[in-house]
A and B are shown apart, each in its own frame.
Chain A
């Protein structure tokens, strides 16, 4: 299995609070991705990174920001959490972007009350 960890694995928070999710990889892959998965919507890309300090938006980026200050860590921040952001968040990595297999982390289950 690819070396990807996500923290926390579960989190319950209240509306309006900031939340940061962390993705850590030990594979030295260039590309890192944040997805959310919801019933009826499948996996949707939030943001992705193609290198340190290089990030771009996905299809559902509103309300989220990301940072990547080193190869192994990709942070997802919800500046002010809303109930609509209750979801399962998956991080993924790949060596060569979409031409390559994406390996997923175990996921973070976030509940916003």
Chain B
């Protein structure tokens, strides 16, 4: 069965410090991995994805994520956090060999608070 875990409900970081939001996954075969962000009272926005190739993926707003196959992880990172990065972050996965199981599997979300 496919699954995604975001082990932290909440992450707090000071503005200007680096941030990491963690995600681990379980799929059969190779994964498609995604990060989405949701600002208060808004829809979800796509940040970045891993399909294949370079393990370090760069996305919107200065975010990046590193695919680690051996640790089945896809942690979201940013070198210097902004107060405006405060939002709810979702990791999602789909197995490349999912066949008829075409839907994304979503993590429960991590609330990021960046303090001034």
Q: Do A and B bind each other?
A: no
* Residues in chain B within 8 A of chain A (CB atoms): none
